[in-house]
């Protein structure tokens, strides 16, 4: 069995790949009914990665939004920026993935959560919103890209 840090690195490679699949689809059909909502979800995926990365690093999240109003290109740029940051963070913490991270949620409530749990949450959270985007694409009569993990495995 792969060590947890290697599994997480693979999951974050998948997450970046899946986000790119969605970005390509949204960029290809930019005016479908529901596109604004889909971009809002995509922007949310990017915003939450910014917020969680700051929390893990012990930095202030002031000025960061979990529901930012980003254009598609800006959200994609954010996700591209954070992909290598996640890889560096995972590698730097490979022997401390069970350490607690102290942070405050968006409502200001304090929490302590294991780093590995937060890292898993971020990927699962992104998949949830990619599924919402896929639903919007289908509702508009478009075919969403396959973003299931198995498609990533087959492609890589």
Token pair for residue 101? 């991270």
Find out whether 149 and 126 touch, Cβ atoms under 8 Å: no
120 annotated as belonging to a binding site for a ligand = no
Per DSSP, helices labelled H in 29-106 are 35-57, 72-92
Helix (H, G, I), strand (E, B) or coil at 144: coil
Dist. CA 94–CA 5, nearest whole Å: 5
* Residue whose pair of structure tokens reads 């998948």 in the numeric block: 14
Report CA-CA distances (Å) from 88 to 68, 85, 150.
25, 5, 25
Helix (H, G, I), strand (E, B) or coil at 117: helix
104 is in an annotated binding site: no
Is 129 marked within a binding site? yes
Q: Where are the beta strands (DSSP E) in the chain?
A: 100-104, 110-114
**Residues making up the binding site:** 44, 125, 129
**Residues making up the binding site for a divalent metal cation:** 44, 125, 129
């Amino acid at each position: 069995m792969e060590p947890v840090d290697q599994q997480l690195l693979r999951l974050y490679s998948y997450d970046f790949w899946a986000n790119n699949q969605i970005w390509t689809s949204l960029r290809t059909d930019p005016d479908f009914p529901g596109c604004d909502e889909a971009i809002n979800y995509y922007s949310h995926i990017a915003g939450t990665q910014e917020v969680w990365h700051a929390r893990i690093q012990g930095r202030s999240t002031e000025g960061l939004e979990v529901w930012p109003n980003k254009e598609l290109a800006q959200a994609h740029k954010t996700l591209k920026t954070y992909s290598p940051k996640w890889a560096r963070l995972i590698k730097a913490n490979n022997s401390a993935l069970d350490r607690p991270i102290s942070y405050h949620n968006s409502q200001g409530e304090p929490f302590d959560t294991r780093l590995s749990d937060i890292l898993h949450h971020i990927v699962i959270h992104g998949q949830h919103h990619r599924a919402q985007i896929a639903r919007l694409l289908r509702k508009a009569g478009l075919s969403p890209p396959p973003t299931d993990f198995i498609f990533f495995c087959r492609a890589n």
